Amino acid sequence: MSPVRAALCLAGGAALLPSAADAHHRSPREVVEALNTPALREQTGIESVAPDPRMPRLLVIRVKPAWFQKSAADRLRLAAAWRRLWREAAPGGVLSVVDSAGGEAVVNFDARGRPLLSLGAGP
């Protein structure tokens, strides 16, 4: 299994799905903790994941240069999976994926929530 596929499975798969005994939605804190796991961060190029302290429904994922080495298709799939996880945990939640070096957005989401890579963002 490729590292990106493994990361997608972790980001949207069994690690975050409720078990039969624990049939509830994951909390925002649980999603942040899951996205901050060292294995996922290493596989996806995440530097950090944290809600904005001034606007808790905004989740900011800072990515490092390893993010840009992934194919455009893989980056779009990851961004979509992360947004879906966050919005399930924080209804009406907003996701921002930004370059840790410059702070600019590297992914934008259209009106339907589909991810679009920002032109000119990144190394």
Residue 123 lies in a domain: no
Query: What pLDDT is recorded for position 28?
Result: 95
* Amino acid symbol at 12: G
Question: For the chain, which ranges sit under pLDDT 70?
Answer: 1-24, 120-123
Residue 73 lies in a domain: yes
C-alpha 108/C-alpha 120 separation (Å) is: 12
What are 13's two structure tokens? 């798969």
Tally of domains within the chain: 1
Residue 122 lies in a domain: no
Residue 108 lies in a domain: yes
Residue 59 lies in a domain: yes
Contact 99, 122 (CB under 8 A): yes
- The model's pLDDT over 21-44, given as tens digits with 9 standing for 90+, comes to 344 679 999 999 999 999 999 999
Residue 86 lies in a domain: yes
**Is the model's pTM score more than 0.85?**
no
C-alpha 57/C-alpha 74 separation (Å) is: 25
**In residues, how long is the chain?**
123
Q: Which domain holds residue 14?
A: 3-117
- Exposed (0-12), middle (13-18) or buried (19+): which is 92, by Cβ within 10 Å? exposed
Query: What pLDDT is recorded for position 16?
Result: 40
